[in-house]
Each structure stands twice: as C-alpha cells, then as structure tokens.
Structure 1
Amino acid sequence: MTLVINNLKKKFDKHQAVDGISLTVEKGEMFGMLGANGAGKTTSFRMTLGLIDPTEGSVTWGGERLTYKRTHLVGYLPEERGLFPKLTVKEQLIYLMRLKGMKKPDIIRELRHWLERFQVPQNENKKIEELSKGNQQKIQFMAAVIHKPELLILDEPFSGLDPVNTDMLKDAVLDLQKAGTTIVFSSHQMRNVEELCEDLIMLKQGKAVLQGNLRDIKRSYGIKSVSVKADYDLDFISSIKGVVKLDKSNDGAQIAVQSEEVAGEIFKQVSAKGFVRKFEVEEPSLHEIFIDKAGDTDE
C-alpha cells in the first residue's frame, strides 16, 4: 500500500505549522523527513496518524484515511516517549499490544525475541523506571513494532542513543524494511538519514525547501567540496572566483566551490605551485545541504 500526503496544511491560531507539503511513499520504502525543531515534522506525523485533523489537505494509506479501526496496521514511535514507569516491561507491552489486537502468548513470544535481539533479556520483569534512558527507548521502539505493522512512523528514533545502541536500532529498522515494512522517520541527524534513506523531504517553517531522491539531490546541488593537502600556504585559493568558503587545517584545506569547473581551476593553480599530496572533489554532505537550506532554527 502507498502513503499519499496531499497539500497538507495545519494552522494553530495565527501560526502556520505545516504549509502545503505533499509526498508519496511506496510500500517497503524508507523515507526521511528532515528539519530543525519547530519545522513541522511532528505535526505532520500526527496528522498522518489521524491524531489531529489537518486544516487543509489529505492523508491516505492504501487509498483510505488512517483511523482507529486500522491502528493494528501502524506502528508509531513518538518523539515524546510515553511509557508507564511503574509497570514492568512485560506488563507494559502486553497492555499496549492487547490494544493492537494481539493475543498474550504471541505478545510474550515477540517480546522475548526483541529483548534478545537488543541484548537485554534480563529486563523483561524490570519496571520501566528502573531502566536507563537508552533501554527505555528500546522498549518504546518494541512497542511500535511487536505487532508487525505495515506502516512504521518513527519520530527522532535515534535521539539520545549512544553509538552502540544507535547502530543496533538502525539494523533493526533496515531488517523491518527488508521484510516489507514502509518506514517514515524524522531526524535532525543528517548522517542517519544518509545511511538509511533514498528519498527525503526537508522542512523549514512548515514548508518543503528540498525534496526528492537523495542521490539526485546531492549530484545536482551546486556547491561542492574540494579537499586539498599540500606543503605550502593555500590562502590564495580564497581569491579564486567561484570559491564559496575556505577552511584551513594543519596540512591542507577544505574548500566549498560552486561547480566542478571551479574545482578544475583550483587544481590548475595549486599544482602550478608545487607538489599536491591530495586533491579530491566530493559531493556535498546532507549536513552541508541542510545548513544551507534550513540551517537557521525555526523555533
């Protein structure tokens, strides 16, 4: 089934939180939604799930709105985590998954599978309040996936996790995608989006400022990066026409340029001055594109 968001808008009093975004996510696709705090990511997710009504526009999953009767098809990891601190992990997940229509033996089997996968089987009968923040987040993720949803929405899933747990969660997300789950997630951590997504939308003040295939975006983006290492002063590069920025280091420089033609001119001039130990033209990182397109916060 396909997720279709069409001209979605949401206004709270005089504040336009989401302003006309449209996107299509096919079955089994991993789609990234980027933006600074206040860009409209969470509001978009809540409208997608039917938790709040849009001011204008529509959201359909398989041609129909997502309503409570279809909740068993959807998994949701909210940015603001919401677990009952006095319940044990087992009690918590049995309660939540019963709401999804699962039977208790199936819940316990899946619970133990995920506890083993996340290397925390000892936490089954611990209270939520006894767990670290990282382990609480694993339980929240489990609550979003144990019922095997067809559509999974993850709002800042890697926020606050250490590198080991981040990689563990990434592997789980990728395996779910391989199994056919459609996944939409938000993040302000560009590296995670680059590793996981083929397609994305970047929001600023509720509007899409960039959208499409990540590879195409990076290839078509005007500003590129040149890495140079040489044993002489590279300050002169900043005066070359088309150089946007020069960042020097102990043994070289990182240069933002407007085009590959500018990179060619840099190579011509640095090689004329002496031996060049490294010269590499790189596509811009998603982080660099994000800073350029939506770098100032929307709060």
Structure 2
Amino acid sequence: MLSIRNIVKQYAGHTALSDVSLEVESGKIFGLLGPNGAGKTSLIRIINQITAPDSGEVIFNGERLNQSHIEQIGYLPEERGLYKKMEIGEQMIYLARLKGLSRDEARRRLKFWFEKLGMETWWKMKIEELSKGMQQKAQFVATVLHEPKLIILDEPFSGFDPVNAEIIKEEILELNRQGATILFSTHRMETVEELCDSIALIHKSHKILDGKVKNIRNSYRNETYLIEYSGPRVDFDESQPFTVDSEKSEEEGTYIVRIKLKEGFNSNNVLQYLIPRVRVNMLQEVIPSMNEIFIEKVNLIP
C-alpha cells in the first residue's frame, strides 16, 4: 500500500527526517511510534502532501504519490482542524465533497455514521458547543466518511474517556476488517499491542526499529520467567539453574518469584529443581512489552 523510501526533510537547518524508509502493508494496521519531536508528524504531513520531502519518495499502491491519491486518504490530525462556528452537518458535507462525494451521497453516509455513533442531534450544532471528546468524534467521522483506502490517525484517542475510546477502537478495527489500511501515531503503547500488526519507531529523525509487533517482542526475549509456588519458602542459592531478580509473598504460603535462566538451562530445568521442594502453581515466560522495548531503544541513543 505505502512505501516510504529514503525520505529526508529539513527545516531551517533542523533535520526532521533522515533517510527514513518503511513499508506499510495493504490491509494492515501500522503503528508509527516515537517521542515528541522525533519526526512522526513530519512524515505524516509528507504522506498527506501537506509538505514535500527534500529527497526520497513515497509510493502509494504502486504509483509515485500524487494529487490524485488525496481522495483515497483520510487524515485525523493531532491538532483538530474543524471550523468551530460552522454547523457540523454542513461542515461534514463540505469536507466530503472535497474528497469527491456528491451532496446526496455525503448526506447518506453522514446519516449512517451519526446514527452509529449516537450523534443524531448534532447536525445543527457547532464544534465550539461540543466537549473535546465530542469534537474528536466528529473529526473521526470527517476522516472516514469518504471511505478512504488509507486512514492516517495521529493520536486518535486523545480527549476520549475510556468508553468512547473503546468505541472508536472498535470502529478502527471494523474499518480494517473491511479492507482499509490504518497508519496511526500514538504514545499509548498498550494500544500498539492491541491493534498493530507492525510498527516503526522513529527517534531524533532516524528510524531505529521496525517490523511485526510479535517478531519484535520475541526478539527481545531474555530468558526471564515468573514463578508462583506454594509451600515452604525456598532458600535459593547458587545451585539452582537461575538467578532471582525479585521475590514477594502473595499470601501466606504462596510466593511469586521473577527469575532469569542461567546460560545452558531451560524452563524444564527450573521445574525439575522446584517440584521436589514445592507445588508449582505457575511458570510463565516474561516477554518484554512494547512500552519496555520503546524505553530501552530510545534510552540507548544519546
């Protein structure tokens, strides 16, 4: 769907993007991650043709990105862009017509979305009369009304309470199931693990990590396990096949231990050591979360 090739972008001597390349597969959900100022918004603006790269290119569905692709892209910016004093219904129709829809088709689709998201009474309201979360919901409808093939969401859950955040998350998943490719930028790492097939991490203008979420997490496995056991407290010493990172008493007679395997040992060796001594209730590998990986990668770069 989207191929970003060797993009460079500078502003008055500041490098926003330095030779950034990444691939967004058609029909997938792709997370664009990075700290504030990393270059994410600069890349999103280039994809939306708001600005142009100094060098490099963007390929959209096999073609070099051009003005004809604008109607196939929906963009929800982090800084919301609806007109505060314009009636919501007419504003939505106006924006839909800019994307190539007729007035009648825009009205039909708008009625569907307003009913779906409980916005039936909003038609004559103005954006300035809405709460931040309600404004965000209206902006989301404006983003997807023309049924774009590529939906770009910059911090889509900002301003939402947990209930409405869950509603929008389900709508994103449904749009993806219907064939839309989703590219979204977020700081919410738990959302990345819930939604994304693949990610790219940008830091200080450079791409420092990319790939499928599952593969990235597996690549950071470090032979760490959680054990829950019941019985007498075990006095661990140098003879066991692991080192103990932490230990706590969950309740009387039940303990939770975080361990790291010694070189050459595996989880079976742990069980062989523990079973003669205590009852093992749980042995679970600890795979680093995307949040932990994010922090580690960012902190490695000065």
- Fold shared by both chains (TM-score > 0.5): yes
Find the residue that maps to 1:47 and give its secondary structure: helix
Query: Compared with structure 1, are the counterparts of its residues 78 and 271 closer, same or farther at alpha carbon in structure 2 (3 Å cutoff)?
Result: same
What is the correspondence of 1:1-299 to structure 2 with a 5 Å cutoff? 2-223=1-222, 225-230=224-229, 246=246, 248=248, 250=250, 251-254=255-258, 261=265, 274-294=278-298
Distance 1:180 1:238 in 2: 55
CA contact under 8 A between 1:224 and 1:259: conserved in structure 2? no
CA deviation after TM superposition for structure 1 residue 35, in Å: 1.3
Deviations 1:141-177 (CA, angstroms, capped at 9, x unpaired): 1111101111111111122322211221111111211
CA contact under 8 A between 2:25 and 2:181: conserved in structure 1? yes
CA deviation after TM superposition for structure 1 residue 98, in Å: 1.9
Aligned-pair identity in percent equals 39
Deviations 1:205-252 (CA, angstroms, capped at 9, x unpaired): 122222111122222223354222246668969998986954757452
Distance 2:58 2:141 in 1: 25
Query: Compared with structure 1, are the counterparts of its residues 141 and 114 closer, same or farther at alpha carbon in structure 2 (3 Å cutoff)?
Result: same
CA deviation after TM superposition for structure 1 residue 70, in Å: 2.9
- The residue identity in structure 2 corresponding to 1:186 is S
Distance 1:53 1:233 in 2: 64
Query: Compared with structure 1, are the counterparts of its residues 81 and 276 closer, same or farther at alpha carbon in structure 2 (3 Å cutoff)?
Result: same
CA contact under 8 A between 2:241 and 2:261: conserved in structure 1? no
Find the residue that maps to 2:63 and give its secondary structure: coil
CA contact under 8 A between 1:33 and 1:201: conserved in structure 2? yes
TM-score of the two chains, using structure 2 as the length reference: 0.85
Q: Give the unaligned 5+ runs of structure 2.
A: none
Distance 1:180 1:262 in 2: 42
Distance 2:260 2:74 in 1: 41
CA deviation after TM superposition for structure 1 residue 74, in Å: 1.0
Query: Compared with structure 1, are the counterparts of its residues 296 and 140 closer, same or farther at alpha carbon in structure 2 (3 Å cutoff)?
Result: farther
Distance 2:64 2:276 in 1: 64
CA contact under 8 A between 2:202 and 2:208: conserved in structure 1? yes
Report the more deviating stretch, 200-209 or 11-20: 11-20
User: How many residues are matched?
Assistant: 297
CA deviation after TM superposition for structure 1 residue 77, in Å: 0.6
Distance 2:239 2:14 in 1: 44
CA contact under 8 A between 1:225 and 1:284: conserved in structure 2? no
TM-score of the two chains, using structure 1 as the length reference: 0.86
- The residue identity in structure 1 corresponding to 2:97 is R
Distance 2:274 2:88 in 1: 61
Let me know the Cα RMSD of the aligned residues.
3.0
Query: Compared with structure 1, are the counterparts of its residues 188 and 248 closer, same or farther at alpha carbon in structure 2 (3 Å cutoff)?
Result: farther
